[in-house]
């Protein structure tokens, strides 16, 4: 199976809990015989491991999501004949997968399952501290769209699953 993770975090190249999860899953899945690729949307990484495609980031969440969609489309097209992608997993926060999912045909993933691993959206985090801004409103809209359009959402517990279903 060929699995592609689309993320803004990948330990140790960038900080963040989701990046630790992606790095660990990458190791475990590779050890189990799967092909694992990562599309990392970030400016900070100083190194690129084999199997990691680094895409420059952007401050604007919608633009960042478009950059990720373009990278996924190029990656899928490049690997369509030799090692087609069987599953794409995208982070929940920042709405990174919005444009990829909103235009699945252009992204080349009409029939490729896309899942979201729920870590905790920026929407929920900023709501919990009662912080509102136009930028957060855009991110919240993108995140809600990603969670609504995904083929499946992976959650750590039934309680969080119920909360995600109720909210998104």
Per residue in 47-70, pLDDT (tens digit) is 667 889 888 888 899 999 999 999
Report d(CA 145, CA 152) in Å as an integer: 13
Within the chain, residue ranges assigned H as helices are 17-31, 61-79, 98-102, 104-107, 122-128, 134-149, 158-167
Q: What pLDDT, on the 0 to 100 scale, is given for residue 161?
A: 92
- The Cβ of residue 25 has, within 10 Å, a number of other Cβ atoms equal to 17
Using one digit for the tens of pLDDT, what is the confidence trace for 77-94? 999 888 899 999 999 888
């Amino acid at each position: 199976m060929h699995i592609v993770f689309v993320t803004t975090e990948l330990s140790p190249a960038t900080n963040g809990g989701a990046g630790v999860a992606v790095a660990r899953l990458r190791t475990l899945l590779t050890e189990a015989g799967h092909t694992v690729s990562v599309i990392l949307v970030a400016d900070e990484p100083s190194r690129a491991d084999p199997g990691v495609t680094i895409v420059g980031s952007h401050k604007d969440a919608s633009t960042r999501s478009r950059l990720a969609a373009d990278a996924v489309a190029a990656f899928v097209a490049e690997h369509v004949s030799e090692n087609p992608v069987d599953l794409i997993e995208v982070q929940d926060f920042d709405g990174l997968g919005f444009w990829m999912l909103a235009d699945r045909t252009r992204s080349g993933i009409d029939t490729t399952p896309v899942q979201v691993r729920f870590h905790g959206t920026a929407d929920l985090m900023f709501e919990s501290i009662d912080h509102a801004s136009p930028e957060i409103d855009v991110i919240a809209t993108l995140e809600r769209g990603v969670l609504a359009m995904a083929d499946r959402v992976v959650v750590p517990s039934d309680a969080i699953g119920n909360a995600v279903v109720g909210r998104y």
